[in-house]
Amino acid sequence: MAAFDYAAWVARAQAFTESLAHLEGAEVHSSAMASPTSEADLTAIERALGPTLPSSLRAFFTRGTASLDCRYALEPGGPALDQLRDLLPDQIRIYGGARLGPVSDLPDLSRSVGEWADDTWVANFPGQKAIWDCALPFAALANGDYLALDLRADESDPPVIYLNHDDDSSVIAPSLPAFLTAWERLCYLGPEHWLLLEFTDASGQLDPDSDRAARLRQLFVA
């Protein structure tokens, strides 16, 4: 199997966001991409972080980008709004964009996750605390949630977890490449749970092949 092309994925995420400038009802807030990080800088970050990064996340930051900040909002009108309300009845506006890193924030993100696990409701629920204690966050969401790798799986490419700060956390993809591939096909929606996790299968993992996912993609066709 060919190695996952992180650089190509990053380029497509940026290009998708920039393309929305021509879509009615869409607004592009950011499409910033940093150069990949160096091995030396990543080694220094690992020393501050503690655990060695799984090879999948290491490859994302060294081959793809040290930081990706793509953000958009879509507030359709007319028939497109009807399509959105049929898909997500409580929404008249959706947003998304690939926002991962920056790699320099990983130690601070890890400390924040550890503190939340120790000092909040999570500490009273052993199953949830086990998830938080073994999670390596690689993206912080504005609502207090995180995207993270599940280090309970002693692998070079562990599963991706959605860390929910006020509800149960769960695995949403079997690997980082699988997550990136599915998220791309879900138009980089969210990734806050009330948007992204509307597109999961019975096991709770992202499902870009569903009819709902196809209808989501139609909203982004000019």
Chain centroid, CA 6 distance in Å: 14
Average pLDDT over residues 165-187: 97
- C-beta of residue 7 within 8 angstroms of C-beta of residue 33: no
Bridge partners (DSSP) of residue 146 are 140, 163
pLDDT at 2: 67
Residue 156 pLDDT level (bands cut at 50, 70, 90): confident
Average pLDDT, integer, range 99-107: 96
CB 197 within 8 A of CB 172: yes
pLDDT 10s digits, 68-97: 999 999 999 999 999 999 999 999 999 999
Under the banding of pLDDT at 50, 70 and 90, the label for residue 221 is confident
Distance of CA 168 to the CA centre of its chain: 17
Strand, helix or coil at 49? helix
0.85 cut: is pTM over it?
A: yes
Domains of the chain (ranges; CATH) run: 6-218 (3.40.1580.10)
Taking the alpha carbons at both ends of the chain, their separation in whole angstroms is 34
125 compared with 154, residue with greater pLDDT = 125
Name residues whose C-beta falls within 8 Å of residue 115's C-beta, 6 or more positions apart in sequence.
Answer: none
pLDDT digits (tens, 9 = 90+) for 29-71: 999 999 999 999 999 999 999 878 999 999 999 999 999 999 9
Q: How far apart are CA 145 and CA 44, in angstroms?
A: 26
Average pLDDT of the chain to the nearest whole number: 95
Residue 222's pLDDT is what? 65
What would the pLDDT profile of 106-131 be if each residue is shown by its tens digit? 999 999 999 999 999 999 999 999 99
Q: Taking residues 202-208, what's their average pLDDT?
A: 96
Instruction: Average the pLDDT over 203-219 and give the result.
Output: 96
Amino acid 52: pLDDT = 81
Closest of 107, 127, 108 to residue 117, by C-alpha: 127
d(C-alpha 65, C-alpha 33), whole Å: 7
**Burial of 165 by CB count in 10 Å (0-12 exposed, 13-18 middle, 19+ buried)?**
middle
User: Residues 40, 102, 99, 33: what is their CA dihedral angle, to the nearest 10 degrees?
Assistant: -70
User: What is the mean predicted confidence (pLDDT) over 154-176?
Assistant: 94
Percentage with pLDDT > 70 across the chain: 99
